[in-house]
Amino acid sequence: MQHQFHPSVLREYDIRGIIGETLGADDARAIGRAFGTLLRDAGGTTVAVGYDGRVSSPMLEHALIEGLTASGCDVVRIGLSATPMLYYAEASAEQVDGGIQITGSHNPPNYNGFKMVFMGRPFFGADIQKLGKLAADGAFASGTGDITARDIMSEYVERLLQGLAGIDPGKLDTLRVGWDAGNGSAGPALEALAARLPGEHHLLFTEVDGHFPNHHPDPTVEANLADLRRLVADKNLDFGVAFDGDGDRIGAIDGEGRVIWGDQLLMIYAEDLLKTRPGSTIIADVKASRALFDRVAELGGQPLMWKTGHSLIKSKMKETGAPLAGEMSGHVFFADDYYGYDDALYAGVRLLAAAARLGKSVTELRSAIPPMLNTPEMRFQVDESRKFAAMAEITERLTTNPGPGVEEVNATDGVRVNTADGWWLLRASNTQDVLVARAESESQEGLERLLAQIDDQLALSGLERGESVGH
């Protein structure tokens, strides 16, 4: 039984598409058959399966499990869950060899997809292409797998609470925190966690609703933090934490309502972690502020800039033994006393812990971060067939003939260009038909010069920045 996927759904980090247009039950069934075949070939037999709160998720779960069991794999159903709960089910159980979470993450409600773990490592890139080819060839294994259900909520919450181990309860009892689950699948786990946390906790939108009636669950877009900001202001809370649709990305604001961006959160976590693990490698993606890399070095850590993408960062952490990594997009990975995957609920707990251990409020920690002028992530539409080619041209130009004022060109992921004014970045998104740009300087004039350099490079490849598009 051969199966062809729509060419747009097999992405770099995961599989994602539009329900009823590019993704449906037949695709989910084929993913199950192909993933199960690859797992059995590698000596695995058991797959944990979870799903997020999207309307289409139960349908995809049903078809995925049909495919997995038809390949001869046993399935452990963990049900409606945040993505990190699926990762936890896979990482904490000796008898589980792989995991698949059905989630559309922070995409619009009509999207859905699959995030996968294979024998303890991320399943992405070449793995996903291999899965597509196996399905196209119809080279599936056959068998009859068993299905069992496992409720992991209470043990998962228990594991999250270990993030506060060794801290004097008196330092935590006075904390007052706001939390916004954005009607995503982290809501039930957040309710269970907040009930157990020391201090006072105020929760928003914990009811799972795949239509996202209050705001879109993407905490990296400042407009989506308006409700949390209001809650923190109205109740005079210490800080606020927000999650994306499947609970693997964190957003935060301090007590004054200022956003704490992904790289700024990483500075706080790094300061806390490097006290007990001096000299550690700390990884951040190419979109992070220069201030972060400077701060890690100043604290005695080894800063490492790497490619954007949760799967790529997790793989680099395993390779380097880094105990902490993060992305501008709010994925934060702890491998010091945790499993090394991105878990926004655990990152929230670790923010409480960092403030308590460092003896400073989150607002004080945010205030200590040097002010930089930077653009938000600018995303502009470029045809899928053109985006990588355009980036190749720009990279070639800048590495062979960088031009006046360019001090360094880093081509780890797209191009990140350092000048006396600061730095700018241009890279192709692996998940959408967009190019992503960002620039950072200490002055407005410097920022404008950096943006002019981006525009010049785009123009040389027949493109322009144009209107920024959303996620």
Provide the annotated active-site residues: 105
CA-to-CA distance for 134 and 136, rounded, in angstroms?
6
Torsion of CA 123, 124, 126, 131, to 10 degrees: 60
Distances (CA, A) of 40 to 26, 71, 145, 467: 21, 8, 12, 47
In the 8-state DSSP scheme, what is residue 415?
E
Q: Strand 406-410 to strand 15-18: parallel, antiparallel, or no bridges (unpaired)?
A: unpaired
Whole-angstrom Cα distance, residue 188 to residue 208? 8
CA distance 53 to 74: 24
Contacts of 253 (CB under 8 A, 6+ apart): 225, 228, 229, 232, 239, 240, 242, 259, 260
Using CA atoms, how far apart are residues 13 and 15, in angstroms rounded to an integer? 7
Q: How far is CA 191 from CA 40, 63, 182, 354, in A?
A: 37, 30, 13, 22
User: What is the DSSP secondary structure assignment for residue 408, as one 8-state letter?
Assistant: E
Q: Are strands 302-306 and 281-285 parallel, antiparallel or unpaired?
A: parallel
How far apart, in whole angstroms, are the C-alpha atoms of residue 9 and residue 113? 8
